[in-house]
Amino acid sequence: MDQRNVPIYEMLQHYLDAVPTQFTIPGHHRGAGISARWQAPVFRLDVTETPGTDDLHAPTGGILQAERLAAEAFGADETYFLVNGTTCGVEAMILAAATPGRKILVARNAHKSALMGLILSGAEPVWVQPEYSAALGLTGGISPAAVEAAFAKAPDAAAFLLVCPDYYGVCSDLPAIAAVCHRHGAMLLVDEAHGAHLHFCDCLPPDAMACGADMAVQSVHKTAGALTQASMLHLRRGRTDTGRMRAALHLVQSTSPSYLIMTSLDFARSELALHGSAFLRSACRLAQSARTEIRRIPGFFCPGAAELVGQCAVAAFDPTRVAISAAGLGLSGFALRARCYDEFGVDFELADERYALAIFSYASTAQDVRALLTALRAIAQSREFAASPHPACALPSFPPACLSPRDAFFAEKKAISWSDAVGAISGETVAPYPPGIPVLCPGERITQALWDYLENCRKLDGHFQGPSDDNLNTIQVIAAD
Ligand SMILES: Cc1ncc(COP(=O)(O)O)c(C=O)c1O
């Protein structure tokens, strides 16, 4: 197939030329109805399904061709374009793999979209805890032995869902994990939200489809040149019921899919296929040079493959993720991020107790690195530090589940003070954000260790997703407990 082709874009250009008059949605009619203060040529491509523009939910024309080009480029048997982000792809994978009451192994550091998939499907999670490096203050990978042990608890589990790579670029041993899953007749589903670029450069860890995953979802918008919400779901035929997969995607995707998002997926795939290797090699070099320089600044630390791979079930590491710690200066990741943002206009993807995380992409420049290093060197010299380094707090082990996520979601709840919450059954999710990974799920009993962990996040001004009280002064718990 010719990866220079962009069939969605070509289809839309043909449609716009051939059909000049429209009585259809969207109401702005090719941009004419958008505010005069915000005119942009791109709005012409924001059209709807018509005989000339194909249909994402039953593609036969330009969208199908674009998905086939993507499947070839990403090494999948089939690829589906997603307009509701990897969030909807993770939900769809769970809906396609497991039925109500069926067990599914889920990595505990899964994104909250996994929890949404569990609530929608009624599948029951058997959590698999990733390893944790206290020395680095980073979550590690999940070992094949941990997956094997989880199958011993749930031998009929339909699938294992894990995140790989995680936000920090940490990858588990996917080929070995795929072998364990397949030996147990289960599917391997990979939330590869942070790995759309991996397939295209040998400086990067191998991608999930190449490692034997049955399905993988990627946020193309996170690491390649696509619009926000643009994702792809790749699958391997064989263990996957493609009919159920399609039905699941109908359930979680808009019936008015954005052609701008789909066109951006088409172009991102073409760029990756044609130039990905060279572009990503240069992004890796840039990130590596930044890492080396940051490590030379007194008080700063920046872990790389040398510290990570081979430890704590980490099999590979994505060098474009640059986690920066100023703990040697007494600064938490939150404080480092705030100072870089407020004083130097340098914005990081996220912060936690230990690190501020910089994500490099092939749009990163040497100028960006200079600005980053200028900010970090100035902070190192300013001597306006906190009194003592803030201790990184290990993710607590998951608390006992009393209700399935779905039953807890629909149960009657009441609000109690956070200070009285130890021992209660949570009625909601609590996910420190970013990265939005649930620490507490609906139906789980709040342990002292978990309370301590979240209290520490509160004290550090962390933000939470999930609780109805954003500041976690109160929490919704199961009323009947
Ligand atoms: C691990 C992980 N999975 C899934 C998602 C959701 O992806 P999207 O924003 O494309 O819906 C995210 C978003 O940050 C994520 O970090």
Per the CB < 8 A criterion, the answer to whether 233 and 215 are in contact is: yes
Question: pLDDT-derived band of residue 141, with 50, 70 and 90 as boundaries?
Answer: very high
Q: List, for residues 326-367, the tens digit of each pLDDT value.
A: 999 999 898 999 999 999 999 999 998 899 999 999 999 999
Say whether 54 sits in a helix, a strand or coil. coil
Name the residue of 82, 88, 111, 192 to mutate for ligand 1: max ligand atoms within 8 A of Cβ.
111
Name the residue of 139, 168, 217, 219 to mutate for ligand 1: max ligand atoms within 8 A of Cβ.
219
pLDDT of residue 458: 85
Q: What percent of the chain has pLDDT over 90?
A: 87
Ligand 1 mean position, distance from CA 363 (Å): 20
Question: pLDDT-derived band of residue 411, with 50, 70 and 90 as boundaries?
Answer: very high
Say whether 78 sits in a helix, a strand or coil. strand
Question: pLDDT-derived band of residue 437, with 50, 70 and 90 as boundaries?
Answer: confident
Q: List, for residues 445-454, the tens digit of each pLDDT value.
A: 999 999 999 9
Domains (ranges, CATH) in the chain? 7-271 (3.40.640.10), 282-382 (3.90.1150.10), 405-478 (3.90.100.10)
Ligand 1 atom index nearest CA of 221: 10
Question: pLDDT-derived band of residue 213, with 50, 70 and 90 as boundaries?
Answer: very high
pLDDT of residue 218: 98
pLDDT of residue 221: 98
Q: List, for residues 67-101, the tens digit of each pLDDT value.
A: 999 999 999 999 999 999 999 999 999 999 999 99
Ligand 1 atom index nearest CA of 229: 10
pLDDT of residue 409: 92
Ligand 1 atom index nearest CA of 110: 1
pLDDT of residue 394: 65
Alpha-carbon gap, residue 196 to 462, rounded angstroms: 28
Between β-strands 316-317 and 170-171, what pairing exists: parallel, antiparallel or unpaired?
antiparallel
Residues in Cβ contact with 31 at an 8 Å cutoff, skipping those fewer than 6 apart: 39, 40, 41, 42, 43, 44, 46
pLDDT at residue 393 greater than cutoff 70: no
| Ligand 1 pocket list (CB less than 6 A) | 85-87, 90, 111, 113, 163, 167, 191, 193, 219, 231, 435-436
Name the residue of 82, 86, 91, 359 to mutate for ligand 1: max ligand atoms within 8 A of Cβ.
86
Ligand 1 atom index nearest CA of 163: 1
Q: DSSP H helical segments within 143-258, as ranges?
A: 144-153, 174-183, 220-223, 242-252
127: β partners: 106
CA distance to 44, 130, 161, 192, 349, per residue, from 171 (Å): 40, 11, 14, 10, 19
pLDDT of residue 460: 76
pLDDT at residue 321 greater than cutoff 60: yes
Arithmetic mean of pLDDT, 377-404? 75
Ligand 1 mean position, distance from CA 403 (Å): 25
Name the residue of 80, 81, 113, 198 to mutate for ligand 1: max ligand atoms within 8 A of Cβ.
113
Alpha-carbon gap, residue 87 to 220, rounded angstroms: 12
Ligand 1 mean position, distance from CA 216 (Å): 12
pLDDT at residue 420 greater than cutoff 80: yes
pLDDT of residue 436: 63
pLDDT at residue 187 greater than cutoff 90: yes
Ligand 1 mean position, distance from CA 166 (Å): 10
Ligand 1 mean position, distance from CA 267 (Å): 21
Ligand 1 mean position, distance from CA 217 (Å): 9
pLDDT of residue 459: 83
Radius of gyration of the chain (CA): 23
Question: pLDDT-derived band of residue 464, with 50, 70 and 90 as boundaries?
Answer: confident
For residue 435, give both structure tokens.
Answer: 């990265």
Per the CB < 8 A criterion, the answer to whether 240 and 247 are in contact is: no
pLDDT of residue 432: 81
Question: pLDDT-derived band of residue 462, with 50, 70 and 90 as boundaries?
Answer: confident
Which has the closest alpha carbon to 119: 147, 98, 137? Answer: 98
Higher pLDDT, 377 or 384: 377
Arithmetic mean of pLDDT, 240-267? 96
pLDDT at residue 131 greater than cutoff 80: yes
Report the chain's mean pLDDT, rounded to a whole number: 94
Ligand 1 mean position, distance from CA 190 (Å): 12
Say whether 125 sits in a helix, a strand or coil. strand
pLDDT of residue 373: 98
Nearest-CA residue for ligand 1 atom 9 is 85
Ligand 1 mean position, distance from CA 126 (Å): 21
Ligand 1 mean position, distance from CA 298 (Å): 34
pLDDT at residue 386 greater than cutoff 80: no
pLDDT at residue 383 greater than cutoff 70: no
- Sort 250 into a burial class: Cβ within 10 Å, 0-12 / 13-18 / 19+: exposed
